[in-house]
Structure 1
Amino acid sequence: MSLDSRLSSVLHLLLHLMEAQQAIPSDRLATALNSNPVVVRRTMAGLRGAGLVSSEKGHGGGWRLACDPAHTTLLDVYLALGSPTLFAIGNRSERPTCLVEQAVNAALDDTLQQAEALMTSRLQTLTLTALASDFQFRFQQAQSQQALCAPQETNHAL
């Protein structure tokens, strides 16, 4: 079973939009994800319906962030995507007649419900601003590492 990476992809795009001074066209966003502009437009249209982004048509058009990143949680984005299935595991049969399978289903259902509640409560505590701050921290760390690893320039002037 393949993973549903829409939440990760959309969060990636939203962070790009947070930094943008102007609207970003779908083809540029698609390039950032190594995806297709049609897929990006379709996904972004759903986010527009949830009030997270806005779009501008014509030359210089594209997508802009329409929400307050300090108050927009990852749960908001997850819900705007239609609440995709969080876990790939599930029951073999939804209404088993076998008592063993009923016991297995009960255990899995309870465990998955608890895991989903934990996941959604965590998503509700993280904002787009928090993600952007983490990115900035990582970016600064990477820059300082490059500075440490860069060959020292010497003055060859006589």
Structure 2
Amino acid sequence: MKSNSQLSDVLHVLLHMAEGDGPATSEALAAAMQTHPVALRRLMGGLREAGFVASAKGHGGGWVLSCPLDRVTLRDVHEALGAPSLVSLGFREEHPECLVAQAVNTALGSAVQEAEALLLKRLGAVTLSTLSRDFHRRRVELGHAPHRLEEHLHEE
């Protein structure tokens, strides 16, 4: 089963936007996510509704951050994406009649709920500002020049 990378992809894009000096087009951001611009716009719609980003059409338009990085947690972004499941552990049968399968489902279901609660708590403690500071620390440690979305697109 392919894992869902939407949260990671969107966080990547949001940090690129934070480093940019103006609006970023759907095409440029989609290229950074290695996806289609329509898929990017669909994901960004939830972020726009949550007030994290804004967009403008036309020449010079694109996506911009619309709130400070320290006010947005990774959990906020996860929820703006529709709160997809964080743990993908399936059951052999969803509603089994077999008592063994019922016991297995109960144990696995409880473990998944606990794991997701712990993940959500941790995501709620990390802001976009935290990620930005970590990026800048890494860039300085490696002696890299200032980061631009356009340059990154050519690297990937």
Q: Which TM-score applies when normalising by structure 1?
A: 0.87
Residue 136 of structure 1: CA displacement? 0.7
* Aligned twin of 1:113: 113
RMSD of aligned residue pairs (Cα, Å)? 1.2
Q: Distance in 2 between matches of 1:35 and 1:113?
A: 31
* Aligned twin of 1:61: 61
AA at the equivalent of 1:134: D
Larger relative contact order (Cα-Cα within 8 Å, sequence gap ≥ 6): 2
AA at the equivalent of 1:57: K
Residue 85 of structure 1: CA displacement? 1.4
Secondary structure, in 3 states, of the residue corresponding to 1:135?
helix
Q: Distance in 1 between matches of 2:12 and 2:92?
A: 34
Residue 94 of structure 1: CA displacement? 2.1
Q: Distance in 2 between matches of 1:61 and 1:2?
A: 34
AA at the equivalent of 1:88: S
Q: Distance in 2 between matches of 1:60 and 1:15?
A: 20
Q: Distance in 2 between matches of 1:35 and 1:102?
A: 40
Q: Distance in 2 between matches of 1:14 and 1:76?
A: 13
* Aligned twin of 2:98: 98
What whole-Å deviation, never above 9, does each CA across 1:84-133 have from its counterpart, x for those lacking one? 11122122222211111111111101111110000000000000000001
AA at the equivalent of 1:92: R
- What does residue range 1-158 of structure 1 map to in structure 2 within 5 Å? 1-143=1-143
AA at the equivalent of 1:30: A
Counting aligned pairs with the same residue, the percent is: 49
AA at the equivalent of 1:113: Q
Residue 33 of structure 1: CA displacement? 2.0
What whole-Å deviation, never above 9, does each CA across 1:28-53 have from its counterpart, x for those lacking one? 11122222212112211221111110
AA at the equivalent of 2:51: G
Residue 138 of structure 1: CA displacement? 1.1
Size of the alignment, in residue pairs? 144
| Unaligned segments of structure 2, at least 5 residues | 145-156
| Unaligned segments of structure 1, at least 5 residues | 145-158
Q: Which TM-score applies when normalising by structure 2?
A: 0.88
* Aligned twin of 2:153: none
- Bigger-Rg structure (1/2): 1
Whether the 8 Å CA contact 2:87–2:115 is kept in 1: the answer is no
